A and B are shown apart, each in its own frame.
Chain A
Amino acid sequence: MSFPASPPQVPAQGAAPVPGRFVSPVPVQRAHLGHALAAEWTKIRSVRSTVWTLLLMAGFILGVGGIAVLYSRGSTKPGDDFLSLGFGGFLIGQISVIALGVLTISSEYGTGLIRTTLTACPQRLRMLTAKALVFFALVLTLGTGTIALFVLLASAVLGGTAGAPPTGTLVRTVLGGGLYLAVIGLMSLAVGALLRHSAGAIATMIGFVLLPIILGLFAGDRIGRFLIEYSPVSISAAIFGEALDPSTNGWQLLGVLTLITAVLLTAAGVAVARRDV
């Protein structure tokens, strides 16, 4: 392979040499959020880590959930909430979403690509917003779809004995589960933007998911109960109908998680806008 013959033709074809100030013959259009969304979509679909992490997520939810469903064929009674069988796979599957959320932004910092990105688009909040929206939409779609697929499989196997779950439960598990994955992923993206370091941010997020429930066991009565109830593990359980406190439901807990995510995203926005890159 070699360089093309010189002299290189840089301007678009047909450009006449202009004396004085250079004016590009390529039509100029003012860039906006739509452009940034298209760019982020190109980025996220053009790396293998996206495909791998999302396949892993689907594999855990369908695989672990599927095994649980098959094992409970004999013991299911009419009226049983068999959707809770999906909890285990969902709990593990969210780790892949966390990794993808972090990598979506930390890989740009890790390689230095963020400088190229912010040179092409110095509106840093636009870049962050586009990343967050594209990632959120992707995980929400695939997360909801995967859980829906799990529910279909579980219903096919156990629905005959247990009967169809009520609509409210279905919506909570399918849409709530998809939203939970998208929100925890978005939180990971915010942490990735704040820490700018892949391994550190992934470890922080896994700590955030697991630590409250472990600390809760050792903390005092009130704090311990609070930590356990609002831990991501408990929220996941509530989405699958296994709430610790029957007076709270999955949606309320999801609201708390969303609130924390909103705070972290705002912090990430401030940090990204202000910091040197």
Chain B
Amino acid sequence: MIEARGLTKRYGPHTAVDQLTFQVRPGVVTGFLGPNGSGKSTTMRMILGLDDPTSGTVTIGGYPYRRLPNAGRTVGALLDAKAVHGGRSARSHLLSLAQLAGVPRQRVDHVLDVVGLRDVARRRAGEFSLGMGQRLGIAGALLGDPEVLLFDEPVNGLDPEGILWVRTLMKGLAAEGRTVFVSSHLMSEMALTADHLVVIGQGRLLADMGVREFLDRHSTGFARVRTPDGAGEQRRLLAKVLTDAGARTEPEPDGALKVSGLPLPRISDLAHQHDVRLHELSPHQASLEEAYMRLTQSEVTYRSGVPAAGAAEEPWGTAPHPYGTAPGGFGESEV
């Protein structure tokens, strides 16, 4: 269990991590999501006792990292795949780590097998590709057979086969009851790997919830409505009718209309009442990626004070949120 309370890191006037409070529980894969530069790596370094927080605390199993009785056996981490001495063989690298943490040396060959680097174990790590470096880093994290695992962008540089392998590995580790905390800037990857999400933007907590809940809360369903081609008049009429009924409409480049805020049968009824023929009426759900983009972009917009173009018609003060997502899921209320 990793527990952060009011975790804050400032570099001079710049706040990299701002009042983060969250828990990472054992038994599930927790995705740590945020755009590049949002403070993920700084947070990871604070969890691992490498950087001291400016204020707040973070503990693993109740201990600050540097006071853990047997850190090397309790926690394993992959921070940077390139963080190896290029002149040292993969095996020597892992052996020195095993010795340092008091891990039996048979574990070295074992983790080399797990990540599939046994055949190249005697080659110098400097000759490794980025993907092989990632696997060596993962091997290092697994060395102590730890209860808590942290991975910073583990799929960087991996081919599709490798990505699938990492995903299976993470889920397997969590299924054994371990705490698995994986950072990524890719929502699509996290959607497939993680059970729980901690989302940050500009160092602040934006969401801390299950993937399913995140999707439900942050992605609005919408309908795509298509009037016959060349009937611009009909489309304008339908848009007006739907807007009057409380929907939000948005024309799409191919002539369709994106409608949110009304159930499909009601859209159909309104079209029928106004004699508008429909060639398409289909339900859609915004992807997790879109939900994430919306969430993090809105955070950026909040900060810079410049409304996004699509939200210009709604003044900031009047809407609960400029993108019409449910309030309370993120933003000031939870920070």
Contacts and interface: CB of A to CB of B under 8 A. Distances in A.
Interface of A: 1-4, 6-12, 17-32, 35-36, 38-40, 42-43, 46-49, 107-108, 111-113, 115-123, 127, 276-277
B177 A21 contact: yes
A264 B48 CA distance: 27
Give the interface SS of chain A, mostly helix, strand, loop or mixed: loop
B19 to A, nearest CB: 19
A32 B72 CA distance: 11
B85 A30 contact: no
Nearest to B92: A46
Contacts of B104: 26-27
B165 A3 contact: yes
Given A22-B147, A112-B82, A113-B84, A29 B102 contact: yes
B169 A10 contact: yes
A226 B86 CA distance: 44
B70 interface: yes
Given A19-B177, A21-B147, A119-B79, 14 more contacts: A4-B114, A11-B176, A20-B177, A24-B73, A26-B107, A28-B73, A29-B102, A39-B100, A108-B85, A112-B79, A115-B80, A119-B48, A119-B71, A120-B71
B49 interface: yes
A47 B88 contact: yes
Nearest to A118: B50
Interface string B96-130: 11011111100100100111100110000000000
Interface string B134-153: 01000010111111000000
B172 interface: yes
A20 B174 CA distance: 10
A27 to B, nearest CB: 7
A1 B101 CA distance: 29
28 contacts: A1-B116, A3-B162, A6-B164, A6-B169, A8-B172, A10-B145, A10-B176, A21-B177, A22-B177, A31-B100, A35-B99, A38-B100, A40-B96, A43-B92, A49-B87, A108-B85, A112-B79, A113-B85, A115-B45, A115-B50, A115-B79, A119-B72, A120-B72, A120-B144, A122-B49, A127-B100, A276-B52, A277-B50
B97 A39 contact: yes
Interface residues of B, number: 67
Given A112-B80, A120-B72, A18 B176 contact: yes
Q: Which 7 A-B pairs have CB atoms at the shortest separation, nearest pair first?
A: A112-B83, A31-B102, A46-B92, A39-B100, A22-B177, A39-B99, A24-B145
Nearest to A274: B52
B105 to A, nearest CB: 10
B66 interface: yes
A24 B93 CA distance: 22
A113 B75 CA distance: 17
